[in-house]
Amino acid sequence: MRSLAVDHLDVRHGQLQAVRDISFSVEPGQTLALVGANGAGKTTLLRAIAGAHLPKAGRVLLDGGDITHVPAHARVARGIALVPEGRRLFGSMTVEENLLLGRTSGRAGNWTVDRVLETFPNLKPRFRARAGTLSGGEQQATAIGRALMSNPDILLLDEVSLGLSPLVVERVYLSLSALITTGVTIILVEQELGRAMSVADKVICMLEGHVVLESAVQALSREAVTDAYFGLRGRDKPHAVIEATP
């Protein structure tokens, strides 16, 4: 089990500063939900953590060690796996072949093809099918399964429910809830507030690249998140932290 932290992280797309001086930490086994409107910087932040986008300033820390300049493939080998927005599967390859790609990290662990199929039973009848022929829910399950095959300590999930029907989202989140019980640390980018809050221990809301709210879920109301989401909270200061009360 490993902890992750970002320290005063700035990330740019050319002249556009997408992530602005963000700091937070995630403890081993914790599930953190990153929420916010389109363009808030959530995906960019996740990509910076995964090593797919080099930050302009700040640090990414794994168990206190600086991995800011460690390349993406080496971060996978250290236990960080990203499920990108849009799934990014190899459409001409089968479900089995896509899953087996996750093994190339060489990390030892308990995740096998059989265990992935137990976690996502909708993949069993589609195991030999090409990924390009799968439904959205099947593709999402395959993408998560591929990441799990690298036996990650920290799983980064970008837009889990994007483009999926409500019924399929329900099935994906049932599997995600089971996954959480295994103890993997998860950072989840999600636009459906109710879904995010149903599985997360902690919520961070981003607005225009800033963290405008950070709270343990049990100390937080949906209304507070909604206000932060639309910029109605924390206008006088960039980072409003709500501490959990006993």
User: Which CATH number characterizes residue 23's domain?
Assistant: 3.40.50.300
How many CB atoms neighbour CB 199 within 10 A? 18
CB distance 117 to 123 below 8 Å = yes
CB distance 238 to 210 below 8 Å = yes
In this predicted structure, the answer to whether residue 236 has a pLDDT above a threshold of 70 is no
Percent of the chain's residues with pLDDT above 90: 61
| pLDDT value of residue 245 | 36
Q: pTM for the whole thing?
A: 0.88
| Interval 168-191 mean pLDDT | 87
Q: Name the nearest CA neighbour of 220 among 200, 239, 234, 235.
A: 200
Q: Name the nearest CA neighbour of 147 among 83, 97, 93.
A: 83
Structure token pair of residue 14: 């050319």
* Structure confidence at residue 235 as a pLDDT band (50, 70, 90): very low
| Interval 50-59 mean pLDDT | 96
Instruction: Say how far apart CA 177 and CA 127 lie, in whole Å.
Output: 22
Domain count across the chain: 1
Residues 174-195, buried b or exposed e (16+ Cβ, 10 A)?
ebbeebbeeebbbbbbbbbbeb
Query: Mean pLDDT for the chain?
Result: 89
| pLDDT value of residue 183 | 85
Domain interval for residue 78:
4-242
